[in-house]
Amino acid sequence: MKRPTLVAAVLSIACIVGANTFATAAPVPKTIIEDPLGDANFVNDQGTGDGSNGDVTAADAGTVSDLTEVTLSNDAKNLYLMILTEAAPPATTGIGYRVRFNPDDAGDHCILVEAFFPGANNVLTGPKAHLIDSCAGGDPLPLEILGTQISIPRKSNAAFGKGAVLKSPQAQSFLYSGDYPTGMAGPTADTTKVGTDYKIVDKKK
Ligand SMILES: [Ca+2]
Ligand SMILES: [Ca+2]
When comparing pLDDT for 127 and 205, which is higher? 127
Measure 162 CA to ligand 2 centroid, in angstroms: 31
Note the pLDDT of residue 14: 47
Q: Which residues surround ligand 2, an ion (CB under 5 A)?
A: 35, 39, 55, 190
Could you read off the pLDDT of 86-143 as tens digits, one per residue? 999 999 999 999 999 999 988 889 999 999 999 999 999 999 999 999 999 989 999 9
When comparing pLDDT for 146 and 53, which is higher? 146
DSSP line for 132-172: EETTT--PPEEEEEETTEEEEEGGG-GGGSTT-EE-S-EEE
Measure 50 CA to ligand 1 centroid, in angstroms: 14
Measure 137 CA to ligand 1 centroid, in angstroms: 30
Question: Could you tell me the sign of the dihedral formed by the alpha carbons of 147, 153, 157, 163, in that order?
Answer: positive
Measure 119 CA to ligand 2 centroid, in angstroms: 22
Enter the pTM of the model.
Answer: 0.83
Measure 149 CA to ligand 2 centroid, in angstroms: 20
